[in-house]
Structures are given as C-alpha cells and as structure tokens.
Structure 1
Amino acid sequence: MFFFIGGIQPKTVELEEIPRLCPACGLAQARLRRVDYYLSLFFIPLFPVKRGEPVLICDRCGAVSSPDAPFDARPSVLSKKECPQCGQPLDPTFKYCPHCGSRI
C-alpha cells in the first residue's frame, strides 16, 4: 500500500530587511513580505506554484496593509489623544496622564 502525502502549502518570504513605518501603529516595525505557495511532498516544499502580492505586515500590532498605504491618518489621531480616565487632552508622547496620574 502506498500513501501520497502532498499538497500546496504557503511560505512567507521577507523581501526587505529594513523595517518601514506601520500605517496602523506608526512604529518602524512593518516589514515587506510576500506569501508564496509551494507544491510539497511529505511536508517538504519542492517548487513554487503561485507567487503572492507584497504586503506590509507589522511585527508589533499585526496589521496587514498595502506597501503604498498612505501615512496621513496618524497625525490626526495623535492630535486628538485623551486620557481614558479623566478625559483631559494629552501629548501623544506621554505614558502617564499629568492630570490624574493613570497609565496610558
């Protein structure tokens, strides 16, 4: 009796080593990656079947976006930041509220 264990499996390929700014969280943690599909035999990828589109995947927040995604939404979100406890306006760089002392 012979069993053939094979199929198509995805493999993520990193295209650039230098991180880019993430459009969602604003940190330089997003990497340009592509998901390629390989024909595999006994869970060993043999040859590529389909090449995927490049996308930005953030290592910190996990957001997936287009490499051409605009980065214009971040400053408007930061300028309206408020303390979740007391509702006072805050500077985006604060980690603690200067009014009530709660952690942001």
Structure 2
Amino acid sequence: MFFFFVGSYAPKLSRMMSSPGRCPNCFTPTVYHYKVQHQLSIFFIPIWQTKSKYLWICDRCKWTGFSRPEEQEITDTEL
C-alpha cells in the first residue's frame, strides 16, 4: 500500500495598502509594505499558519528591510 503526501510549507506574501517608498539600493520608488506568513498546505488547502512578519520589499531589486526606508534626495552625482 502506497501513501502519497502532497503538501508544502511556503511563505505567503500579501501587499499592504501603502504608498511606495524609495529603495536605498536601486533608488526607484518600488518599495512596498508586505505581510509575510508561512503556511502549511495539504492538497492546496491551508491547514496551519505561523505568526506574521511585516517587511518592506523592493519589487525591482528584491531589497528587504524591517522598517520603511528613509526618503532621500537623489542628486545627479549619485546616479
């Protein structure tokens, strides 16, 4: 008798409603506030979820931080 276990333990990202911030790495306004929650799924049905974390993630270069990046004035010498 064979048993197949089809499941996963993966992070789930949910974008929070916020205005974008400027990325300190690539200097584009693509940093958004995300809620990250790991969840155990069996046959695509969520069974168990862990505690939530809130991160700031850049959609372009994937920079990650725990607090909103500070707004900086970009000058021509930085580019």
Q: Look up the match of 1:22.
A: 23
* Unaligned ranges ≥5, structure 1: 80-90, 94-103
Q: Look up the match of 1:60.
A: 60
Higher helix proportion (structure 1 or 2) = 1
* Unaligned ranges ≥5, structure 2: none
Note the aligned Cα RMSD (angstroms). Answer: 2.8
Q: Which stretch of the first structure deviates more once superposed, 33-42 or 11-20?
A: 11-20
Give the whole-Å Cα distance in 1 for the aligned partners of 2:77 and 2:17. 29
Q: Look up the match of 1:34.
A: 35
Matched length:
78
Higher strand proportion (structure 1 or 2) = 2
Report the residue type matching 1:10 in the other structure.
P
Higher RCO (C-alpha under 8 Å, 6+ residues apart): 2
Give the whole-Å Cα distance in 1 for the aligned partners of 2:45 and 2:23. 31
**TM-score, length-normalised on structure 2?**
0.68
Give the whole-Å Cα distance in 2 for the aligned partners of 1:23 and 1:59. 13
